Structure 1
Amino acid sequence: MSVDSMIAQMERWLGTGEPNLIQQWYRDRNGSAYAYNFPWCNATITRAAVDAGEYEAVCFGTDYAYTVAHAARFKAAGQWHAMTNGIKASGIRRGDVVFFDWGGSSEIGTIDHVGIVTGVSSDHRYVYTIEGNTARLCARRVRTVHEIAGFGRPKYKAAPKTTTASGSSSTSKRPQVSLAKLIKAFKTDPPKKGTPVSYPLVEVVENALVAERLLAKRYADGHAGTATRSAYTLLQERYGYRGADADGIPGMTSLKRLGKAHGFDVVA
């Protein structure tokens, strides 16, 4: 179990409307006070934490529906970070439990909503989340500093160790994107018809481009087509490349920067 397990369980509920099984599950555990269509954003966090095996880390062994109480528990444990210094300085990152105040304060007592952080944009302008009970759905959202009151940082379990071919152990389960294979796909896929997948990990990069709001989700299909290459050009320009250096073909420096922000590593 690990932060990735928590994210995976939140992703499992994407698209869920209301009333829903999360509400029913929480009601079965906590009684009739949670009857009818009660607000379920924090119940979603609780359910995901239980299913991910991270109930102690995320919820301190307590079911939460009330966001203020949950944030206060993080503060009591010394794991609360008020959003007073901006996204970059705060150090908010993937796996943090992020709390929102629509009034724009950083006060725990005025918190309205909660979600889980899946990533942060490379320019630190946006925080990417999954949230239950947002527009009556469980959905991905893009948030700005003005909406964030603060975040709790769970003490997640370490990822399970895996043994490499050489016999050494590793705790990394991050995708390993080959730059050489990616470049080949970017050069050979666009002229082809349909959606050939010449290198499966193209989709990892495409999903990062979607998170950066440079590529439409429907194009994140593993086919490094013209839309994907155009999106990568925009990324290069965002990173300060110009002219021939912003040709839409990934390079080691830009790809590593993208991977650092979105959870994958780069090999030659």
Structure 2
Amino acid sequence: MSLEGMVAQMERWIGTGEPNAIQEWYRQRNGAAYVGNWPWCDATITRAAVDSGEYDAVCFGHDFAYTVAHAQRFKDAGAWHAMTNGIKASGIRRGDIVFFDWAGSSSIGAIDHVGIVTGVSSDYRYVYTIEGNTANVCARRVRVVHDIAGFGRPKYKPEPKTTNTSGSSTSTSKRPQVSLSRLVKAFKTDPPKKGTPVSYAPVEVVENALVAERLLAKRYVDGHAGTATRSAYALYQERLGFTGDDADGIPGETSLKRLAKAHGFDVVA
């Protein structure tokens, strides 16, 4: 598959509690040492790597349950990046395997936990992740630089190619696509409506990004670009430095592309 295939496989496990099928799968592959309810954050990464066809890229052909050993393997391969210069300078990005030390060090030997990066906030304050065994479930999380020891960068397969109508080869991505023109129409027409009609379903992609930016409450994610969603988008525009009519809560090309880059979706006309 590809980087997006790896992320998709991690998304498949969101909401999984414990004990679970990941633990059982890992036990069947690695023996009785993994009986019972044991920490499964890196086993989740391993399972997603196998299922996405990125086992060699992510795990170097080896199952990992011990996060320290996994991070060290990235370092041995020259693919380890310690989090010593902040989120922006580190270049951490979607698809990176991110390792955490809750005590705040960048020492591999002190690593406590692991997940996959799904995006970075536009102001570089937050890293968005999917993690197994976080509060005993697989879930999306928002992390700050203090908690991140570093990250490994897998050499993913390229995105699959397809042929367009002109006969040229283009990349095929599983990333969500959001039409700017249809989104603008929804933001202008939805707020006065009663209830939660969905005039343009990908509004929900933008709402989830605003939730990740901590500008919109999760309860408003319904695909309806109502007043709360528009107000949250206005706050996002202000965060980017827009003022006046440029921060009216109606998505513009510049702000939407910034949001898309941070949260893994594509903007189309």
Q: Distance in 2 between matches of 1:179 and 1:104?
A: 40
Contact 2:2 2:158 in 1 (8 A): yes
Q: Distance in 2 between matches of 1:134 and 1:228?
A: 28
- Amino acid of the residue matched to residue 117 of structure 2? V
Q: Distance in 2 between matches of 1:163 and 1:262?
A: 27
Q: CA deviation at 1:20?
A: 1.1
Aligned to 1:27: 27
Gap runs ≥5 in structure 2: none
Are residues 124 and 162 of structure 1, via their aligned partners in 2, closer, same or farther at CA, if it must alter by over 3 Å?
same
Pairwise CA RMSD = 1.3
SS of 1:214 mapped into structure 2: coil
Q: Distance in 1 between matches of 2:136 and 2:268?
A: 41
Q: Deviations over 1:136-185 (max 9, x none)?
A: 11111111111110000001111111222332221142444222211111
Q: Deviations over 1:77-131 (max 9, x none)?
A: 1100000111000000011000011111111111111111111110001111111
Percent of aligned positions that are identical: 81
Q: Distance in 2 between matches of 1:141 and 1:256?
A: 22
Q: Distance in 1 between matches of 2:45 and 2:176?
A: 25
Q: Distance in 2 between matches of 1:208 and 1:196?
A: 20
Q: Deviations over 1:31-55 (max 9, x none)?
A: 0111111111101110111111111
Q: CA deviation at 1:263?
A: 2.0
Between 194-203 and 108-117, the greater mean CA deviation after superposition: 194-203
Q: Distance in 1 between matches of 2:100 and 2:266?
A: 31
Q: Deviations over 1:245-268 (max 9, x none)?
A: 211111111111111212223233
Gap runs ≥5 in structure 1: none
Contact 2:196 2:222 in 1 (8 A): yes
Aligned residues, how many?
A: 268
Q: Distance in 2 between matches of 1:160 and 1:230?
A: 38
Aligned to 1:45: 45
Between 222-231 and 66-75, the greater mean CA deviation after superposition: 222-231
Q: CA deviation at 1:29?
A: 0.5
- Amino acid of the residue matched to residue 165 of structure 1? T
SS of 1:133 mapped into structure 2: strand
Between 218-227 and 181-190, the greater mean CA deviation after superposition: 218-227
Are residues 164 and 216 of structure 1, via their aligned partners in 2, closer, same or farther at CA, if it must alter by over 3 Å?
farther
Equivalences for 1:66-85 in 2 at 5 Å? 66-85=66-85
Q: Distance in 2 between matches of 1:8 and 1:104?
A: 29
Q: Distance in 2 between matches of 1:139 and 1:181?
A: 30
SS of 1:266 mapped into structure 2: strand
Between 37-46 and 238-247, the greater mean CA deviation after superposition: 238-247
Contact 2:127 2:144 in 1 (8 A): yes
Aligned to 1:115: 115
Between 214-223 and 105-114, the greater mean CA deviation after superposition: 214-223
Residue 245 (str. 1) matches residue 246 (str. 2)? yes
SS of 1:24 mapped into structure 2: helix
Q: Distance in 2 between matches of 1:131 and 1:176?
A: 24
SS of 1:74 mapped into structure 2: helix
Residue 202 (str. 1) matches residue 200 (str. 2)? no
Q: Distance in 2 between matches of 1:15 and 1:219?
A: 20
Q: Distance in 2 between matches of 1:210 and 1:165?
A: 37
Q: Distance in 1 between matches of 2:28 and 2:78?
A: 31
- Amino acid of the residue matched to residue 99 of structure 1? F
Aligned to 1:96: 96
Aligned to 1:160: 160
